[in-house]
């Protein structure tokens, strides 16, 4: 199943932060495309999050322009290729706007960054604190957004492409199924990857996904705006969300 959209009924605010995050990721990726291979490799090693450097609290390179802890945040905006950024931005586009509406702009941004922080820590200390391969990508932070969406709108409809051999159909599937399958896949893949070095160009930091997701399950109760959540839920159930009750 490939998510391509969701039920946006009840969303009232303009997702300025979510669109800003998407735009920033795209701009950084376009900058990466402009670099020759040697400069790109240097860029990734300078601004990607290297587990060994984070675990030891020292920069990964002698000429690193920022401290090791700061690379956790810069790494969230670097991607390894078209498929990498395309998949991440698709998920952020689908699920992020509703979560931003349910939290408010500032809280959503803080929640997003904390999810990325938790993802990097999880990958560092579970996936391998001695690894010198940079972690890059927004997927850890986006995993926290998926967790928030699952908690807030478990029955929310997600439009997915379903591939059945040569046939393709579009179905509306509850979020708990779509996101639940995604998380189960990440967790099982993470278990299978233990002891395997993660390559920034071809590997997947599964524990970053698991860490980002689990880190969002509890804080969402603090970050949510109850009235906004109820508005979306009522709208999706077919009620008039703005009527007096």
pLDDT of the chain, 245 residues: tens digit per residue: 789 999 888 899 999 999 999 999 999 999 999 999 999 999 998 899 988 888 887 666 656 788 888 999 999 999 999 999 999 999 999 999 999 999 999 999 999 999 999 999 988 888 778 888 889 999 999 999 999 999 999 999 999 988 877 788 888 999 999 999 999 988 888 777 665 544 433 457 788 899 999 999 999 999 999 999 999 998 888 654 444 43
Query: Considering the domain boundaries, does residue 151 fall inside one?
Result: yes
φ/ψ bin of 168: left (φ > 0), alpha (ψ from -120 to 50), beta (otherwise): beta
User: Is 122 inside a domain boundary?
Assistant: yes
Tokens at 213, concatenated: 């997701």
Domain range enclosing 212: 2-236
Structural domains of the chain, count: 1
Instruction: Write down the pTM of the prediction.
Output: 0.89
Judge whether 209 lies within some domain. yes
Query: 243: which residues sit within 8 A by CB, 6+ positions away?
Result: none
Q: Which residues pair with 3 in a beta bridge?
A: 160
| 141 inside domain | yes
Q: How many residues comprise the chain?
A: 245
pLDDT value, residue 244:
42
103 within some domain: yes
Indicate whether 244 belongs to any domain: no
3-state helix, strand, coil in the chain (%, to 5): 60, 10, 30
State the CATH number of the domain containing residue 138: 1.20.1540.10
Does any domain span residue 243? Answer: no
In this structure, is residue 241 part of a structural domain? no
């Amino acid at each position: 199943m490939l998510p391509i959209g969701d039920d946006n009924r009840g969303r009232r605010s303009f997702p300025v932060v979510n669109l800003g995050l998407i735009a920033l990721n795209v701009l950084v990726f376009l900058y990466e495309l402009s670099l020759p291979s040697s400069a790109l490799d240097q860029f990734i090693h300078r601004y990607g999050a290297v587990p060994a450097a984070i675990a030891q609290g020292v920069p990964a390179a002698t000429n690193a322009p920022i401290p090791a802890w700061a690379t956790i945040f810069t790494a969230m905006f670097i991607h390894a290729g078209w498929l990498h950024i395309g998949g991440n931005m698709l998920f952020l586009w689908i699920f992020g706007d509703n979560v931003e509406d349910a939290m408010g702009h500032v809280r959503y941004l803080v929640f997003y960054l904390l999810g990325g922080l938790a993802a990097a820590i999880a990958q560092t200390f579970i996936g391998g604190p001695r690894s010198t391969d940079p972690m890059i990508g927004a997927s850890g932070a986006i995993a926290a957004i998926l967790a928030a969406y699952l908690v807030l709108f478990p029955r929310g409809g997600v439009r997915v492409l379903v591939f059945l051999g040569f046939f393709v159909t579009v179905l509306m599937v509850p979020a708990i199924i779509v996101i639940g399958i995604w998380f189960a896949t990440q967790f099982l893949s993470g278990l299978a990857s233990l002891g395997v070095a993660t390559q920034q160009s071809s590997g997947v930091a599964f524990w970053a996904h698991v860490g980002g997701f689990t880190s969002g399950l509890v804080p969402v109760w603090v970050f949510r705006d109850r009235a906004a959540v109820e508005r979306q839920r009522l709208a999706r159930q077919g009620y008039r969300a703005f009527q007096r009750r």
